[in-house]
Amino acid sequence: MDDDGSVTTRRNFLTGCCVAMGAVAVGATAFPAISALRVASDLVFGKTEQEVDLSAIQPGEMKVVGLSLKRVTLIGTDDLVVPVMVLHRKPEWVRQMEEVKYGLKEPVEAVERYINPEWFVARAFCTHLGCTPNIIDESATPVNIVCPCHGGRFDTLGRVISGPPPSNLFLLPYRFVSENRINLFVSSPKDITATKVSDFQKA
Ligand code: FES
């Protein structure tokens, strides 16, 4: 959750920019074109759930899926596609995260960034200018997720380490429905700006 008004304002701005720019970036590559969006406070989403099969994602691999959302407005609905990364973390990446100390731009506890340490699920959406961070750099310590546009670097829990991104990758609400399947779920704009799993996990 946001700590103060300035962060809230920045996140709202980022949400508007990120959704709009991500829609363009992803639409240009893998998904259908998406209409431009206004800021998050103008958005109301219809409840959306979408399953992802984890069984084909090997340790060390990342899959980017498109989560289809409906935007509800006073004059009707339209369709959005939000790119979501699902990263299968290797056991050594998990160990490294516990053993190696490194600096974070926006510190948050590792345990707040995952449900199962083997898996990292987040919006595939760089908090700098909205590119898809999709490069895994295993030569770095800790292993980095790298944004191809301006070299922003994140750890494998999406916490920014270096480069222009101002904040960590946003999480996307999900739950395990079986050992090899997760369910992504979104019902409001704040769901796509989660920064901790406690933001969407119910007690
Ligand atoms: S858009 Fe990712 S570093 Fe600039």
Q: Among 127, 146, 150, which residue has the most ligand 1 atoms within 8 Å of its CB, making it the best to mutate? A: 150
pLDDT of 125 above 60: yes
For residues 200 and 194, is the Cβ–Cβ distance under 8 A? Answer: yes
| Distance from the alpha carbon of residue 149 to the mean position of ligand 1, in angstroms | 5
Q: 5-29 b/e with 16+ CB inside 10 Å = b?
A: eeeeeebbebbbbbbbbbbebbbee
**Of 49, 24, 32, 7, nearest to 132 (Cα)?**
24
Position of tokens 């480069």? 163
> Model's pTM, two decimal places?
0.77
Q: Which residue has the higher pLDDT, 45 or 106?
A: 106
Other beta carbons less than 10 A from residue 1's beta carbon: 11
Q: What pLDDT is recorded for position 97?
A: 82
- From the list 117, 115, 203, 199, the residue with the least C-alpha distance to 155 is 117
Instruction: State both tokens at 114.
Output: 């995952």
The domain limits of the chain are: 5-197
Q: How confident is the model at residue 202 (pLDDT cuts 50, 70, 90)?
A: low
CATH number, span 5-197: 2.102.10.10
Cα–Cα distance, 80 to 83 (Å, whole number): 10
Ligand 1 nearest-atom number relative to CA 150? 3
138 Cα to the center of ligand 1, angstroms: 19
Give yes or no for a contact between 172 and 195, defined as CB atoms under 8 angstroms apart. Answer: no
Pocket of ligand 1 contains residue 158 by CB under 6 Å: no
The Cα–Cα gap between 142 and 137 comes to 9
Can you tell me which atom of ligand 1 is nearest the CA of 165? 3
DSSP 8-state code for residue 45: B
Span between the terminal Cα atoms of the chain, in Å: 16
Mutate to test the pocket of ligand 1, among 145, 149, 154, 167 (most ligand atoms within 8 A of CB): 149
pLDDT band at 43 (very low <50, low <70, confident <90, very high): low
pLDDT at position 188 is 79
| 58-111 pLDDT per residue, tens | 999 999 999 988 877 777 788 889 999 999 999 999 998 888 889 999 999 999
Q: Is 22 in the pocket of ligand 1 (CB under 6 A)?
A: no
pLDDT digits (tens, 9 = 90+) for 143-163: 999 999 999 999 999 999 999
Across 113-133, average pLDDT: 97
30 in helix, strand or coil?
coil
Q: Which of 126, 127, 146 to mutate to test the pocket of ligand 1 (most atoms within 8 A of CB)?
A: 126
